Chain A
Amino acid sequence: MSAATTLLEQVLNGLTIGMVYVLLAAGLSIIFGVMDVINFAHGEFFALGAYVGLSVALATGSGGFWVALLVAPLLVGLVGAGVERFTIRPLYGRNPLYHILLTFGLVLIFKDVITLIWGQQPYQFAKPPLLSGTVTLFGFDYALYSYFVIGIGALIALGTWLALTRTRYGLVIRAGSMDRDMVRYLGIDIDRYYTIVFAFGAMLAAVGGVVLAGRQNVAPGMGNAVIIPAFIVVVLGGLGSFRGAVVGGLLIGVIQTFVRSQFPFLEGLAVFLLMIAVLLLRPQGLFGNPEWGTGGEGGDLLTAGDADVFDSALKRRIGVGLVGVLAVTPLLIGLPSYYVNTLVVNILIWALFALSLDFVMGYAGLVSLGHVLFYGVGAYATVLAVMHLVPSLFVALAVGIAVSAVIAWVVGYLSIRVSGVYFSMITLAFAELFFSAVFKLEWAGSSDGLFGFDPVYGLFAGPSVGSIELVGGVSVFYYVVLAAVVGSYLLARQVMRAPFGSVLQAIRESELRTGFIGYDVTVYKRRAFVVSGGLAGLAGGLAAVQTGGVSPEFLAWIRSGEVIVMTILGGMGTLYGPMLGAGVYLVSKELLLGITEQWQGVLGLIFVLFVIFVPRGLVSLPGLLAGRFDRSPGGGTDVLAEEETEVTD
């Protein structure tokens, strides 16, 4: 085959995969542009499209593929409309973080609903005979179906473009993506359009799902697999820009294909590096406009800090009491050691992780979607320290903290240059970058991970961790973890009480004003990030010791999601709220495990309800209930904020 045809073939390969990205990213981008909603569940609409399409095709028999292509998007569009109407609409006016949270909760629900209905095995969607086989064009054989994918993608993109530019709805939607409030000031109820926009976005994703199902198998993980690339495309193209989604999608598809053949080592890394580069150099992407779509950033992060009903003396007593219970009871009651050594240790470790996140999210307002990075780095560093330095547990944990703090400094330094949604995206990109990278590193155990490490309590020798047990089978390690977590909480609280903490909170409330007063906002944010990273690294190190090793799963993005859920569930901005959230989440999981295999879906549902109705978390519940009985105003659910605070008249 000549070099020209090989090149052409590579380009076509890139366009094929690119078209699917376009279908996904277009919906995602428009939804964000108009509604300021970051829809994490978009991948699930894609998956739902494939599954529904599969069922429709099976039910129809011959010609099923075409019927599916038509019917499945419509059905998924209906689902999308329902989702918007009942879950997203209550959240308008809130900080975009809540949309991320809500849609993340929806991901958990949808995934389990899909497995519940269709089971876990992969299916193959039969291609229509009309589209099977190869065709000879431009002098070489190429899969006809791939041409079909490119064709249909182009057709739909064209259709969408026409709808956006030639119809009344399209015009209003475009105007809304540029200046939503002005559209209202012209007397147009843009909220009604949102349902259409959301449903349409879901339909586009569903078409992508049906189309892709013809070339790939249909499996429960398919939604997860596409959502991150979709975000990369949207960032590259520009949040809110349809044209950006088209160009970005095709570009990413082609780039991925070429990286694969020319720089195979970079495969999987290149796109994240690209995403980071774009966010640092030109956050608005290729076609986004920095002023578009950010008018009215929505409300503040709803912290539970002020919603406290209990006074500090009572809280202190509760805290001391709790620590006392945790320290003493395991030795007294003859509980199976599983509960103490495993469940409670697990809760404590996650509580520490959640604490670290609250440090930056609840106080400085930095919504980090990739916090698992520091957790994972801490875990790996701890294990490698024991394996290559000294087997001492404490030295290894210290190394873990140090390394993650350093990484946090670097990542923080780069990420803090951008703000808002872009900051969240860039932290996600860094986490995914490290996750992909660790697979390629032999010394990190690549995909198998590193197991069989044996930390000891001494420096070079000594009793191995896990070998010393106290009364009732409680491991000494339990107390190590308890001490670490309580110590970290006290440290964090001390830091927050110092002027540093007040500055952080001021930054969260209004970065602009705090800067005007004379504080170097960037330095404060970075410091908070470093402390947070260190704490997360400690959590990761402890988790590695608990597991007996480390593997790439320690860096999986889903952990970032889980820790955010715990933080919000508990009530951020309180330090102890997220820790409580961790406990409630894990205990609930333990209870649910005995009942259903779809425990994630149930937890997702609970989480969604919290996001909508109790956004300040569990810690705010007493205040909410008290408010109900007193009928006094203030506290509790937030009122839709129409405009952000202005400085001038």
Chain B
Amino acid sequence: MVMSGTPPSKRRDRSIAPTRRRLLKAVGTSATLGAAGVAGCLGTIGGDAENTVTYATLNPMSGTYNSLGPTQRKGAELAAKHINESDEFGFELKLVKGDTETDPTAAQQAARRLVNKDGAQFLFGAISSSVALALNEFAQDEEIIYNPGGAAVPITGEACNEWVFRAETNTAQVAEAVSEYTVKNLGNRVWFHISDYAYGESVLKRVRSRMEAADANLEVVGVSRSQLGASNYDSFISGIGGSDAQVAVLGMTGSDLINFVGQAASQGLKDRVNLMSPTMTFAVVRGALGKAAVGTYGGVRYVPQLETGDNRAFVEAYREEYDGEDPDNFARVGYESLRMTARGIEAAESNEPAAVKDQLPGMEMDTIFGRNQFRACDHQAMNPTWMGELVEGSGETAGVKLLSKVEGKDALPPCEQLGCSLG
């Protein structure tokens, strides 16, 4: 935990049974919903409690990250469907949904609603790191399992706890894939430009240190910061263009990245300096940039064309379910979070999060990326990562050409470096 000195796992001393358990035991009392008459249901509580798993998917459907929420949810919905259809799982999965509004308070309240009212025992979602951190706390308080959709390292790093299991690839893993390749192939005179917030800083820190480790000749030509949400990058672009940098590493994402690259392409920077960003290959970014993205480089957490694990089957199933649409990284995270956790539920033969949380760490399973697991010491999935180049695509959108791969075990730095030690 960032601020207090006590190790994360010893932080709480829960002497009273948590709310949710108490509620489950109160099965049978006819709980009237009062004057509100809300269109929700008490659902499975009081029913086949042993064979039902209520999973909540809490996605940013409004607020700053609202363009990413829908696919995240679709992945989870597809997983729920497959789990219910498959013989592999002996339970029924009920999916309940909520909106984080990209706001920690609203997210936490939505989570409370899903847990206390709808009886969710498992929670997935969020992309913004402040929302994910709030939900980390929530999961620990409520003793439910949480799969974060955010990529910030502290979520399974300094702020980790035993209830959190992350299937999303974190920024340190991506940094492994991009740093060495970039400094060795794109240029060792590097300019860093980041958005001034936690994610940007983490890109700067990790990519720089990995680059230094890979190549002693690294020369950091310049570091510049822009405000989160700034929409005009001309002056930074001019600055980079005027320096002797060979490659610019961009620690930004979403609209910021889209605008930067768009404007850089306009100004001709892309032709003079290699542009690399850990999130350059995101579907949302490629979709918005169109041809302007061609010729840039980025980290790859997931692309539909991967030949790993059972990705092909996943992609086909997704296309069929969603009118030919390809899954993106967030859909993959939604799908795999639920599936991997479901496997833990099945193996533990229990829908009690406490039992599942002991089952999952280190449990090997087949995933979209092949054999994978939630690492025991921090519950982070050991996903492989790639370096990619954006090339001409079949339409307006650029395609991704994979340049190199870092295996799961190599991509994830040791737990001591990340600040978590769960056992």
Q: Do chains A and B touch in the complex (CB under 8 A)?
A: yes
Q: Is A337's CB under 8 angstroms from B232's CB?
A: no
- Which residues of chain B in 163-194 are interfacial with respect to chain A, using CB atoms and an 8 Å cutoff? none
Q: Is A342's CB under 8 angstroms from B116's CB?
A: yes
In the complex, A336→B141 CA distance in Å? 17
- Given the interface contacts A122-B67, A217-B258, A261-B235, does A553 sit within 8 Å of B104 by beta carbon? yes
Task: Confirm or deny: B284 has a beta carbon within 8 angstroms of a beta carbon on chain A.
Answer: yes
CB 8 Å contact bits of B109-137 with A (1 = contact, 0 = none): 10011011100000000000110011011
- Find the B residue at minimum CB distance from A547: B105
Task: Confirm or deny: A121 has a beta carbon within 8 angstroms of a beta carbon on chain B.
Answer: yes
Q: Is B116's CB under 8 angstroms from A467's CB?
A: no
Q: Is B197's CB under 8 angstroms from A121's CB?
A: no
Contacts of A448 in B (CB 8 A): 129-130, 133, 152, 154, 198
CB 8 Å contact bits of A311-349 with B (1 = contact, 0 = none): 000000000000000000000011111110111001000
- Which residues of chain B in 38-83 are interfacial with respect to chain A, using CB atoms and an 8 Å cutoff? 38-40, 42, 61-62, 64, 66-67, 69-70
Q: Is B242's CB under 8 angstroms from A334's CB?
A: no
In the complex, A465→B225 CA distance in Å? 39
Q: Is B268's CB under 8 angstroms from A338's CB?
A: no
Interface residues on B, range: 35 or more
Pick the most buried of A215, A257, A600: most chain B CB atoms within 10 A of its CB. Answer: A215
Q: Is B19's CB under 8 angstroms from A473's CB?
A: yes
Contacts of B31 in A (CB 8 A): 334-336
- Given the interface contacts A13-B238, A341-B112, does A546 sit within 8 Å of B67 by beta carbon? no
- Which residues of chain A in 109-131 are interfacial with respect to chain B, using CB atoms and an 8 Å cutoff? 115, 120-124, 126-127
Contacts of A511 in B (CB 8 A): none
- Which residues of chain B in 250-307 are interfacial with respect to chain A, using CB atoms and an 8 Å cutoff? 254-255, 258-259, 262-263, 266-268, 284, 287-290, 292
Q: Is A216's CB under 8 angstroms from B231's CB?
A: yes
- Given the interface contacts A124-B290, A334-B26, does A452 sit within 8 Å of B4 by beta carbon? yes
Q: Is A336's CB under 8 angstroms from B117's CB?
A: yes
- Given the interface contacts A122-B67, A551-B104, does A346 sit within 8 Å of B109 by beta carbon? yes
Q: Is A587's CB under 8 angstroms from B67's CB?
A: no
Contacts of A551 in B (CB 8 A): 104, 130, 134
- Find the A residue at minimum CB distance from B119: A336
Q: Is B113's CB under 8 angstroms from A338's CB?
A: yes
Contacts of B266 in A (CB 8 A): 127, 132-134, 143, 145-146, 215
Task: Confirm or deny: A352 has a beta carbon within 8 angstroms of a beta carbon on chain B.
Answer: no
CB < 8 Å: which of B102, B130, B134, B267 contacts A141? Answer: B267
- Which residues of chain B in 1-51 are interfacial with respect to chain A, using CB atoms and an 8 Å cutoff? 1-4, 11-16, 19, 22-23, 26, 29-34, 36-40, 42
Task: Confirm or deny: B226 has a beta carbon within 8 angstroms of a beta carbon on chain A.
Answer: yes
Task: Confirm or deny: A55 has a beta carbon within 8 angstroms of a beta carbon on chain B.
Answer: no
Task: Confirm or deny: A1 has a beta carbon within 8 angstroms of a beta carbon on chain B.
Answer: yes
| Stretch from A157-165, A219-227, A302-310, A418-426 forming part of the interface with B | A219-227
- Given the interface contacts A124-B258, A549-B137, does A440 sit within 8 Å of B196 by beta carbon? yes
CB 8 Å contact bits of A439-474 with B (1 = contact, 0 = none): 110000111111111100000000010111100110
Task: Confirm or deny: A644 has a beta carbon within 8 angstroms of a beta carbon on chain B.
Answer: no
Contacts of B129 in A (CB 8 A): 447-448
| Stretch from A80-88, A288-296, A588-596 forming part of the interface with B | A588-596
Contacts of A343 in B (CB 8 A): 109, 113
Task: Confirm or deny: A522 has a beta carbon within 8 angstroms of a beta carbon on chain B.
Answer: no
Q: Is B34's CB under 8 angstroms from A549's CB?
A: no
Pick the most buried of B29, B39, B288: most chain A CB atoms within 10 A of its CB. Answer: B288
Task: Confirm or deny: A10 has a beta carbon within 8 angstroms of a beta carbon on chain B.
Answer: yes
Task: Confirm or deny: B224 has a beta carbon within 8 angstroms of a beta carbon on chain A.
Answer: yes
Q: Is B159's CB under 8 angstroms from A333's CB?
A: no
In the complex, A16→B289 CA distance in Å? 21
Contacts of B117 in A (CB 8 A): 336, 338-339
Contacts of B108 in A (CB 8 A): 546-548
- Given the interface contacts A141-B268, A335-B34, A587-B36, does A600 sit within 8 Å of B226 by beta carbon? no
- Which residues of chain A in 542-565 are interfacial with respect to chain B, using CB atoms and an 8 Å cutoff? 543, 546-549, 551-554, 556
Contacts of B231 in A (CB 8 A): 216, 225
Q: Is B232's CB under 8 angstroms from A439's CB?
A: no
Task: Confirm or deny: A524 has a beta carbon within 8 angstroms of a beta carbon on chain B.
Answer: no
- Given the interface contacts A16-B234, A134-B268, does A215 sit within 8 Å of B104 by beta carbon? no
Contacts of B362 in A (CB 8 A): none
Q: Is B268's CB under 8 angstroms from A121's CB?
A: no
- Given the interface contacts A220-B66, A452-B1, A551-B104, does A467 sit within 8 Å of B16 by beta carbon? yes
- Given the interface contacts A122-B258, A143-B263, A549-B134, does A591 sit within 8 Å of B36 by beta carbon? yes
Q: Is A452's CB under 8 angstroms from B137's CB?
A: yes
Q: Is B232's CB under 8 angstroms from A387's CB?
A: no
CB < 8 Å: which of B11, B16, B227, B258 contacts A436? Answer: B227
- Which residues of chain B in 207-250 are interfacial with respect to chain A, using CB atoms and an 8 Å cutoff? 224-232, 234-236, 238-239, 242
Contacts of A593 in B (CB 8 A): 99
B66: min CB distance to chain A, Å = 5
Task: Confirm or deny: B138 has a beta carbon within 8 angstroms of a beta carbon on chain A.
Answer: yes
CB < 8 Å: which of B130, B201, B238, B267 contacts A10? Answer: B238
Task: Confirm or deny: B103 has a beta carbon within 8 angstroms of a beta carbon on chain A.
Answer: yes
Contacts of A445 in B (CB 8 A): 2
Task: Confirm or deny: A264 has a beta carbon within 8 angstroms of a beta carbon on chain B.
Answer: yes
B3: min CB distance to chain A, Å = 5
- Find the A residue at minimum CB distance from B13: A464
In the complex, A485→B4 CA distance in Å? 30
CB < 8 Å: which of B102, B133, B263 contacts A549? Answer: B133
A158: min CB distance to chain B, Å = 23
Q: Is A122's CB under 8 angstroms from B232's CB?
A: no
Pick the most buried of A12, A343, A451: most chain B CB atoms within 10 A of its CB. Answer: A451
Q: Is A221's CB under 8 angstroms from B64's CB?
A: yes
Q: Is A216's CB under 8 angstroms from B159's CB?
A: no
In the complex, A338→B22 CA distance in Å? 13
CB < 8 Å: which of A133, A264, A468 contacts B268? Answer: A133
In the complex, A132→B262 CA distance in Å? 11
In the complex, A471→B266 CA distance in Å? 64
- Find the B residue at minimum CB distance from A264: B225
Task: Confirm or deny: A260 has a beta carbon within 8 angstroms of a beta carbon on chain B.
Answer: yes
- Given the interface contacts A143-B267, A336-B42, A387-B3, does A16 sit within 8 Å of B255 by beta carbon? no
Contacts of B201 in A (CB 8 A): 446
B369: min CB distance to chain A, Å = 26
Q: Is A124's CB under 8 angstroms from B235's CB?
A: no
A357: min CB distance to chain B, Å = 18
Q: Is A597's CB under 8 angstroms from B99's CB?
A: yes
- Given the interface contacts A1-B242, A260-B226, does A124 sit within 8 Å of B289 by beta carbon? yes
Contacts of A9 in B (CB 8 A): 235, 238
Contacts of B230 in A (CB 8 A): 267-268
- Given the interface contacts A10-B238, A335-B34, A548-B141, does A447 sit within 8 Å of B99 by beta carbon? no
Task: Confirm or deny: A6 has a beta carbon within 8 angstroms of a beta carbon on chain B.
Answer: yes
In the complex, A593→B201 CA distance in Å? 36
Task: Confirm or deny: A395 has a beta carbon within 8 angstroms of a beta carbon on chain B.
Answer: no
Task: Confirm or deny: A142 has a beta carbon within 8 angstroms of a beta carbon on chain B.
Answer: yes
Q: Is B159's CB under 8 angstroms from A341's CB?
A: no
In the complex, A123→B29 CA distance in Å? 51
Contacts of B66 in A (CB 8 A): 115, 120, 220
In the complex, A13→B230 CA distance in Å? 14
- Find the B residue at minimum CB distance from A451: B133
Contacts of B1 in A (CB 8 A): 452
Q: Is B136's CB under 8 angstroms from A451's CB?
A: yes
A27: min CB distance to chain B, Å = 19
Further 11 A-B residue pairs, CB within 8 A, beyond A143-B234, A215-B262, A446-B197: A17-B234, A124-B258, A124-B290, A133-B268, A216-B259, A339-B34, A447-B228, A449-B133, A451-B136, A452-B3, A475-B19
Question: Can you list 15 pairs linking A and B with CB atoms under 8 Å apart?
Answer: A16-B234, A124-B290, A215-B262, A216-B255, A257-B232, A260-B236, A335-B31, A336-B31, A439-B197, A439-B227, A452-B3, A452-B133, A453-B3, A549-B134, A594-B39
The list of the 10 closest CB pairs from A to B, nearest first, reads A338-B116, A447-B197, A13-B234, A594-B39, A551-B130, A143-B266, A268-B227, A338-B117, A342-B112, A548-B137
